[in-house]
Amino acid sequence: MPTAPPPNDSETAFLSAPGRQTFAVPPRVLIIGAGSRGTAYAKAALASTNSTIAAIAEPLPYKRTEFGQKFIWGADGPKPEQQFEHWRQWVKYEEARRAREKAGEKVERGVDAVFVCVLDEMHEEVVCGIAGLGVHVCCEKPLATSLKSCVAIWRALKGAAGGDGGAVVDGEKRREAVFGICHVLRYSPHNMLLRQLVLEKDVIGDVLSIEHVEPVGHWHFSHSYVRGNWRKESTTAPSLLTKSCHDIDFLMWMLCSPPPNGVEPHLPSFLTSTGSRKFFRKERKPEAAKDSTNCLSCPHEKDCEYSAKRVYLDKQLDFGNTGWPVKIVNPEIEELYKTSGKEAAVEQLLSDLREDYTSETPVNEVEARPWFGRCVYEADNDVCDDQCVTITWDDDPLIKDGGSTRSLQGRGAKTAQFHMVAFTEKICERRGRIYGTKGEIEYDSATIKVHSFATGYTKVHKPHIAQGGHGGGDEGLARQFLMAVEAVDSRGMSAAEAQREFLGCDLDEAFRSHAVVFAAEEARKERKVVDWKTWWDGQVEPQLHQRQRPLERLNGALPGELDVGA
């Protein structure tokens, strides 16, 4: 197979690690939620910038203390302004701090930005609760667990902006706040190079279709979506939202959102989806398991691919891993391993895995927490473990030069096919193919292969594989968000400009990609084809009609109002 020459200079930016961002006035950050994602963004912020993790809001004392010792106060012990049992406690403190400052008292410096990393179903409560303070907010995905909640967040953040570029706090105008959504796939070196090649360098011409796969991983799915927090739609949301909303966002970013040339987005025309809980249900239970409901008392356990003992002990703790996913089973296992040794940690883990519920246990008690030793065929999960989504675009030409020229470049008919599948060896290592008029791209999470029809060459790109989660996406997102925060607070840049320059995404675009997920779920559940414009006009516009101008920008900018971020 012929290969092409080495990459040119414009591509080399993605071949090595970016430098650590140093700010003259480092942003001070509050993390709300000291779980795995809160910890990930604290690590990412400190690794990629000289920002300060100033405070933590977390109800569980052990997790709050552990987080604080790692990222905030070390061995010195916390100051009152560095830890809070609840995010509402921080809000009261911050309101009082500002009141003292306004009265002329010399006060401690507050926080500039907040990462919201609580459970998905709490996002609406938290984001709406802090929006009026005018702080910069970065929210873990998904934005919320229902369309109604997403609208509530959109309204709260738009309202906090005061409608004219600045939040109003205590009757005084404050600079408009930056909003970030943790669609981290946008910020890995791999995906940034992929988008540059497709949309800016036009290496395969116009895109005609994309096939994109998220391989969740067989045991990862059982951990999070069968035994874990995201197993039931009624308590969280569909797996397409909780697991794959940033894959849908990735497709919209590639095919809908504009490259940095200011054109309006090319909106979808139709959506369809199929999917179900194919495997993790009682009908699939091996006969050898008999009536067992917990792995540690099951006669089939040694032969079961989803044995909790195999997942958490044999493949993790036995190798010294006390982080995810073992730490999700017991947050204190890492400390126990360090202080009392492996044997004590193993004993504690097995004790945790033996915990079970029976038919006599109240349903609300069962749904209130994960059960990591539960048989995957006897669990109360109901989310899809295999789902396909097809998004179709029709021709949408731009009219140029007074209407004399019609251009389909980048706006021709095209299709995106997405497949979320649980039963894979790879864990979240996305892969796919992009078919264009001049060539074809094959990508995974490590390489990008570009084949040219004209030359017959296949050029192989190997972007830098960054440390941290999502191929460096966690660090990339944290860095870009904090760069936007610093640009607004220290250099006087407007939030809209900062969103475009550093994040490439604003609240409207984040909302729209979530709306696609809800439309796809309606298509799946009702077994129908969803017309995007009809669905938007019927399901979304009535909830946003009081804010007509933002709505126009959100669902396709009008001529002269092309300010939706790329």
Domain range for 353: 282-367
Which DSSP state fits 294?
Answer: B
Which DSSP state fits 305?
Answer: T
Phi-psi region of 492 (alpha: psi -120 to 50; beta: other; left: phi over 0): left
Is the peptide bond prior to 268 cis by the omega test (within 30 degrees of 0)? Answer: no
Mean pLDDT of 3-22: 62
The pLDDT, as a whole number, for residue 559 is 30
Give the N- to C-terminal CA distance of the chain in Å, as an integer.
36
480 part of a folded domain: no
**Domain check: are 140 and 242 in the same one?**
no
SS3 163: coil
Backbone angles phi, psi at 512, to 5 degrees: -60, -40
Nearest to 524 by CA among 277, 278, 273, 240: 273
**pTM: predicted TM-score of the whole model, two decimal places:** 0.90
Query: Residue 511 above 90 pLDDT?
Result: yes
The pLDDT, as a whole number, for residue 41 is 96
The pLDDT, as a whole number, for residue 257 is 73
525 part of a folded domain: yes
State the Cα–Cα distance between residues 445 and 424, nearest whole angstrom: 15
Which DSSP state fits 282?
Answer: G
**Domain check: are 118 and 215 in the same one?**
no
**Domain check: are 432 and 362 in the same one?**
no
Nearest to 233 by CA among 117, 98, 387, 116: 387
500 part of a folded domain: no
For the record, the structure tokens of 495 come out as: 């939030």
The pLDDT, as a whole number, for residue 340 is 97
Distances (CA, A) of 284 to 288, 299, 374, 376, 378: 12, 16, 15, 10, 10
The pLDDT, as a whole number, for residue 14 is 65
Mean pLDDT of 395-399: 83
Query: Residue 92 above 60 pLDDT?
Result: yes
| Helix H or strand E encompassing 274 | strand 270-276
Binning pLDDT at 50, 70 and 90, where does residue 465 land? Answer: confident
Residues 6+ apart with CB under 8 A from 314: 307
**Domain check: are 170 and 79 in the same one?**
yes
The pLDDT, as a whole number, for residue 367 is 87
**Domain check: are 105 and 24 in the same one?**
yes
CATH number assigned to the domain comprising residue 430? 3.30.360.10
CATH number assigned to the domain comprising residue 157? 3.40.50.720
Instruction: Give yes or no for a contact between 326 and 342, defined as CB atoms under 8 angstroms apart.
Output: no
The pLDDT, as a whole number, for residue 562 is 25
115 part of a folded domain: yes
The pLDDT, as a whole number, for residue 546 is 55
Half-sphere exposure of 162 (CA within 13 A, CB side): 17
Instruction: Give yes or no for a contact between 413 and 292, defined as CB atoms under 8 angstroms apart.
Output: no
Q: CB neighbours (10 Å) of residue 538?
A: 10
**Domain check: are 218 and 360 in the same one?**
no
The pLDDT, as a whole number, for residue 174 is 55
Asked which of 301, 335, 367 is the last residue of a domain, the reply is: 367
The pLDDT, as a whole number, for residue 410 is 81
- Cα three-residue angle 535-536-537, rounded to 5 degrees: 95
**Domain check: are 193 and 293 in the same one?**
no
Asked which of 147, 181, 215 is the last residue of a domain, the reply is: 181
Cα-trace Rg, the chain: 24
499 part of a folded domain: no
pLDDT tens digits for 323-377? 999 999 999 999 999 999 999 999 999 999 999 988 889 988 988 899 999 999 9
Instruction: Give yes or no for a contact between 258 and 363, defined as CB atoms under 8 angstroms apart.
Output: no
Longest alpha-carbon distance in the chain: 77
Comparing 101 with 400, the larger pLDDT belongs to 101
pLDDT above 90 as % of the chain:
78
The pLDDT, as a whole number, for residue 394 is 96
Burial 46-56 (b: 16+ CB within 10 A, else e): bebbebbbbbb
214 part of a folded domain: yes
pLDDT above 70 as % of the chain:
87
Q: How many residues does the chain have?
A: 566
Which DSSP state fits 118?
Answer: S
Query: Residue 111 above 70 pLDDT?
Result: yes
Comparing 83 with 544, the larger pLDDT belongs to 83
Asked which of 367, 392, 412 is the last residue of a domain, the reply is: 367
Backbone angles phi, psi at 114, to 5 degrees: -130, 130
Distances (CA, A) of 463 to 43, 197, 396, 460, 526: 22, 12, 33, 10, 41
Query: Residue 474 above 50 pLDDT?
Result: yes
Burial class (CB in 10 A: 0-12, 13-18, 19+), 273: buried
Distances (CA, A) of 122 to 127, 128, 129, 139: 9, 10, 11, 11
pLDDT tens digits for 139-151? 999 999 999 999 9
477 part of a folded domain: no
Distances (CA, A) of 157 to 32, 518, 550, 551: 18, 21, 12, 14
Range of weakest confidence among 51-55, 258-262, 305-309, 399-403: 258-262
pLDDT tens digits for 210-256? 999 999 999 999 999 999 999 999 989 999 999 999 999 999 999 98
Tally of domains in the chain? 3
State the Cα–Cα distance between residues 447 and 463, nearest whole angstrom: 7
**Domain check: are 246 and 200 in the same one?**
yes
State the Cα–Cα distance between residues 352 and 369, nearest whole angstrom: 13
- Arithmetic mean of pLDDT over the chain: 89
Backbone angles phi, psi at 403, to 5 degrees: 100, 0
| CA 312, 317, 319, 325 torsion-angle sign | positive
Instruction: Give yes or no for a contact between 204 and 436, defined as CB atoms under 8 angstroms apart.
Output: yes
**Domain check: are 273 and 286 in the same one?**
no
The pLDDT, as a whole number, for residue 401 is 57
**Domain check: are 53 and 162 in the same one?**
yes
> How far is residue 182 CA from its own chain's centroid?
4
Query: Residue 564 above 80 pLDDT?
Result: no
- Cα three-residue angle 256-261-265, rounded to 5 degrees: 20
Comparing 262 with 181, the larger pLDDT belongs to 181
Is the peptide bond prior to 258 cis by the omega test (within 30 degrees of 0)? Answer: no
